[in-house]
Amino acid sequence: MRKILFLTILAMLFLSACVQQPTNQASNQTTKKKDGKIKIGFSMDTLKEHWVKDKELIEKKAAELGAEVIVNVAESNDETQLKQIDDFITQGVDVLIIAPHNGQVVATGVEKAKAKGIPVVSYDRLILSDQIDVLVSHLHSLAGKMQAEYALKHAPKGNYVLIYGAPTDNNALIMKDAQMEVLKPAVDRGDIKIVADQHAKNWSPEDALKIAENALTQNQDNVVAFVCSNDGTAGGAIQVLKRKGLASKIITTGMDAQLDALQRIAEGDQSMTVYKPIQPLAFAAVEAAVKLAKGEKLDTTKTMKAVNKEVPFVFIEPKVVEKSNLMDIVKDGYEKYDQIFLNVPTDKRPKNE
């Protein structure tokens, strides 16, 4: 009898514990949702070039919306980025914004996040996963088209060198296809000849410098255009061109409207850049992230194919910036007048009105 009574008491205690535990957990979760900020994990490939501005603007917009941003930078290392995404998942972030180094590799991190119910915003670069919730990016196909069209307009005949971005970056591949679509008719007509085309690892200016140097040497400096996919690769090519006294004589394209590129355009060393306004992109990414964290529907009706299916796509259109419209950058508040025209004599600067 005593044994039966003892076992009955134990069973009652056990059942009591089982009933109480979920109640406490539910209470903690409710408190977190009611009182805690939305926690955004921002996984960045790098802080080079324009990415410092992306980080600052995402943090600014998150603060305005009452959210918290935790930033990790992978320094262009796939394993590091995957580990950092794992860390975000362990920390229990509410949503992820990922600017991938390698869109294919990072897809495994997306799968892990989604398995834990964490929404994912693919930022600026497409992650090759059908599980991303939204892509927020510029129209890089249009950027590549703009570069090639600009080069053809100003150098309709002659030898061309194409320096693409990182082969691990889907944007670089999109831009390459867009450039070739524009240039192919001119190639087929025999108007232009592509004497060199190569990817610069990690968008490296040093790689671009070597590609440019080799191309010029192999063609006895007989090149009319360098179609460079961003300002970093353009900067590498222009180092060689300046050394040879050719910078102002050869069309050189770029992208991102970096300050050093804007200064080169002002000085006449770089022909153009594709300006991708960062603020609307960063703000749109945070707005999407917060909505996803709250379980709200996104506004966009546009889509982009990821792997096998279309995913929601929020995009910002880029624009061409050359010497004639450099002041547009100033008017946008993107860079300051005195910085852009730092190396230009005062009497040769446009009016700052």
Q: Please indicate, yes or no, whether the overall pTM of this predicted structure exceeds 0.95.
A: no
Q: How far apart, in whole angstroms, are the C-alpha atoms of residue 282 and residue 295?
A: 20
DSSP string, 227-247: EESSHHHHHHHHHHHHHTT-T
306 contacts 129 by C-beta, under 8 angstroms: yes
What number of CA atoms fall less than 13 Å from residue 9's CA on the CB side? 6
Whether the predicted pLDDT of 333 surpasses 90: no
Q: How far apart, in whole angstroms, are the C-alpha atoms of residue 223 and residue 212?
A: 10
The band of 332, judged by pLDDT with boundaries at 50, 70 and 90, is: confident
Fold topology of 38-132+278-316: Rossmann fold (3.40.50)
88 contacts 73 by C-beta, under 8 angstroms: no
Q: CA 177 → CA 42, 158, 266, 351, distances in Å?
A: 29, 21, 29, 39
Domain regions of the chain by residue span: 38-132+278-316, 140-276+319-348
Structure tokens at 153: 């307009």
Mean pLDDT to the nearest integer, 128-142: 96
Tokens 């691990």 found at: 168
225-228 and 158-164 beta bridge pairing: parallel
The chain-wide mean pLDDT, for the chain, equals: 91
295 contacts 340 by C-beta, under 8 angstroms: no
Note every long-range contact of 214-221, with CB atoms under 8 Å and residues 24 or more positions apart, other chains counting.
215/161, 216/240, 216/241, 216/244, 216/246, 219/159, 219/195, 221/246
| The CATH number of the domain covering residues in 140-276+319-348 | 3.40.50.2300
272-275 and 251-252 beta bridge pairing: unpaired
Mean pLDDT to the nearest integer, 146-150: 98
Closest C-alpha to 204, from 180, 229, 164, 232: 232
Is-same-fold flag (38-132+278-316; 140-276+319-348)?
yes
Mean pLDDT to the nearest integer, 295-310: 94
Mean pLDDT to the nearest integer, 294-310: 94
42 contacts 55 by C-beta, under 8 angstroms: yes
